[in-house]
Amino acid sequence: MRYFIEFAYNGKEYFGFQIQPNAISVQETLDKSLTLVLRDKIEIVGAGRTDTGVHAKQMFAHFDFESEINSPQLVHKLNSFLPKDIAIFNIYKVADDAHARFDATKRTYEYHIHLQKDVFENENSWYYQNELNVDKMNQACKVLFEYTDFECFSKVNTEVNTFNCKIYEAYWQKDGNQLVFTIAADRFLRNMVRAIVGTMINIGLEKIAIDDFKTIIESKDRSQAGFSVPAHGLYLTKIEYEYLK
């Protein structure tokens, strides 16, 4: 029987979601806890990967288990075993061919910036003190809808068959000293969101123009795009499936 597990994690102490040699990951931590509680070797398959230090407010994975699971009871047990920076929300029984990664139809990320020094936000948001033109950054967001090939924002030497992504949403919101970038797409390339944010920072600083942003995307060259902003401000916030509505 196949099950989906819905969970969240603070990525500060982990070397990303995916299992790494000689480094602690979210996947390894969950595998060990599920194996212990269910008394059977469990290996989860995640909906995607997040890099070192990146957080997830909502993440999914699937695993197989031969027996019927009491979901509320298992959620309670797992949360008792897991460290405080990983929380389980739900466990769903799904079709045997359901796949956490390939069946996801939409993913949403947020990047959090605080514009004034804040001792409580340092680990959850990136502190950036230079003045930004948020209106121009939102103009740049509209440009993203004109393209599907985002190779210029992808980490180099990645093993992917295509750099095409369909962007559904992209916008900046400022609330006092908090600035949040939200972006949703059918899929994301490695480092894509952090590279987009870094490039838009240069637009907000008025170092580059909107037409330059278009030229960067059309170049398909990572070296033409902006810097990659720090990981600790990035959150995977939502993953959507047709059968989990």
Q: Which residues are catalytic?
A: 51
Three-state SS for the chain is CEEEEEEEECHHHCCCCCCECCECCHHHHHHHHHHHHHCCCCCCEECCCCCCCCEEEEEEEEEECCCCCCHHHHHHHHHHHCCCCEEEEEEEEECCCCCCCCCCCEEEEEEEEECCCCCCCCCCCEECCCCCCHHHHHHHHHHHCCCCECHHHCCCCCCCCCCECCEEEEEEEEECCEEEEEEEECCCCCCHHHHHHHHHHHHHCCCCCHHHHHHHHHHCCHHHCCCCCCHHHEEEEEEECCCCC
Rounded-to-integer distance, Cα 233 and Cα 180, Å: 9
Rounded-to-integer distance, Cα 100 and Cα 3, Å: 10
Between the alpha carbon of residue 169 and those of residues 37, 106, 142, the distances in Å are 39, 10, 9
